[in-house]
Structure 1
Amino acid sequence: MIAKLFEPITFRNVTLKNRIVMSPMCMYSCFEQDGKITNWHKTHYPSRAVGQVGLIIVESSAVHPQGRISMQDLGIWNDSHVEGLQELVGLIHEQGAKAAIQLGHAGRKAIVEGPIYSASPLPFKEGMEQPEEMSIEQIKKTVEDFQAAARRSKEAGFDIIEIHGAHGYLINQFLSPLTNERTDEYGDSKEKRFRILREIITAVKSEFDGPLFVRISANDYHPKGYTVEDYEDYATWMKDLGVDLIDCSSGAVVPAKINPYPGYQVQYADYLRSKANVATGAVGMITSPLHAEEILQNERADLIFLARELLRDPYWPRRAANELNVELAPPKQYTRGW
């Protein structure tokens, strides 16, 4: 049996050489607080491409300075960010990987100077800043911010864009009934709560014709929140809008106790892949190559997203190839030690 983990896969006009994806993880390394690429980013990301990861997704990059998760986050809110991102994409491409970027806005979870915003004026938890409820004009401006970020992503040469609609950040704050108490056209029903994401997807696609992924939190872990069954509608609507893959994470829209175990989120990728007939990515404590292969062989997901495991081991694909009896060609510089 050929290891599916190392089979190529194509989304629109982009072919990944394998199914191994570096999940976006904030590096908090923009120490000038300008959102620009630093030497750390230029070392960190290409090293995983050298390690033979098929797709590198650059960390959540803020579409507006008030949408940063922290003041040290990457940004894509200004044309001045393009040059550094373009250099980073070139470094990733040189090592044979494809490059994606995650576009995000932290909403009420932003830790920045000045006001923060959300669907409704509800703080994430006691002791955290209360956000301002976004006006219709501010929502429209945020959609435009995502559109401009998509244009810059294309200029920088990214192969794929992922929209961050998970982990309790702004889009997730609109999607969940726990955080969206609006009674206007952006709340009060599932269709209306989805409206901002619909508009963002449409705006991004107007500027970027490559593959589009969306990361979701498929379970709110709250009795009054959404579960993966509720996300079936969202997944179907996203597919109808032309989203190519749904990256299935969970939680963090409200404080909740989660009991994680290896592959605890694979069920969400499996469910939405089956019910909405859309490609999915599995993420969450997947560390074993055999486990990753089992997920793909049983068609529970289309891509394997690795996060902390690639922090621990940039050469995880080499270990996976050895365990799965796959001949993985090394970079020529490493041939004598591979």
Structure 2
Amino acid sequence: MDITVAVDAMGGDHGTHVTVPAALRFLRDNPDVNIVLVGLPDALAAELIAHKVEVGPRLRIHPASEVVAMDESPQLAMKNKKDSSMRVAINLVKSGEANACVSAGNTGALMATARFVLKTIPGIDRPAIASLMPTMKGSETLMLDLGANVDSSPEQLTQFAIMGSAMYGAIKQSASPTVGLLNVGSEDIKGNEVVKAATELLRQTRLNFAGYVEGNDIYKGTVDVVACDGFTGNITLKASEGVAQMFSTYLKAEFSRSWLSKLMAMVAMPVLKGFKRKLDPRRYNGASFLGLRGIVVKSHGGADSVAFYWALAQAVEEARAGLIQRITDQVQQELQHLQAADAAVPNA
């Protein structure tokens, strides 16, 4: 089945100079994918001319007259810019003209607009932002929520875990992914009341719930899915990015300290290149908005064309896996199971 992706071509720090080259390369590499570039027609036409490419059956332009700025208020953008490239791209998913939408635009505006247009899956209170993280095992861990919900109830944390399990199972073809709840320790006595209450709910589900995990377990690959509230998740993500940047900075400084260290860098270059390929953050660009009735993938605003390419790959992978239906089915099954378990408990 061919997959069609609606690209918010105007979004991000670099707009069409990143989104269009990435889309063109993705089309060349994936003959079963179609791309709809959504944005200002003149700007898109100029970019295609610069790359000596014409529109055709697999590539077309869908006009939008407005652009949401990266620092624009999400509420105002949703209310006042109904013909923005972001909104039009999401509308294409709602109408069924596209299987997924990818944008590097304003995160708050994208989430607010996507939630308003697409609505949430029955049984899901709030969407969550999910992303894959590399692990020391060479595998990947799916983590959510990474910033959509600063405060989350035990029920919402349970929903995040269910959605994460469904997503990991769909894209990794895993029958029973292990799920952990992020906490300050692995012992049952640790954590706040919300986390403890969520644990009790998760133990009643049919998920492969492994209990509490700590921050270092994310990169150990202790579990397949790590669930947490958006406040904790976003801090964890930003701290991880900071450590990676610090490591890279220190490594470059050490290898350029003297002629001997520069010589050592040349000798170690094959190893360093392999290390860089394995942990290149651009390969993990693309956060999924789970819980919506359509696929929406958020690329980092400062992404280059390589990073945006991987965001497109994430969206297509989710579409091919039938992610929305997988999440919908699993949410309904787990909610029915929890309701049946509650009904079976005699009144005190």
TM-score by length of 2: 0.29
Higher relative contact order (CA 8 A, sep 6+): 2
Give the TM-score taking structure 1 as reference length: 0.30
Q: Which has the higher helix share?
A: 2
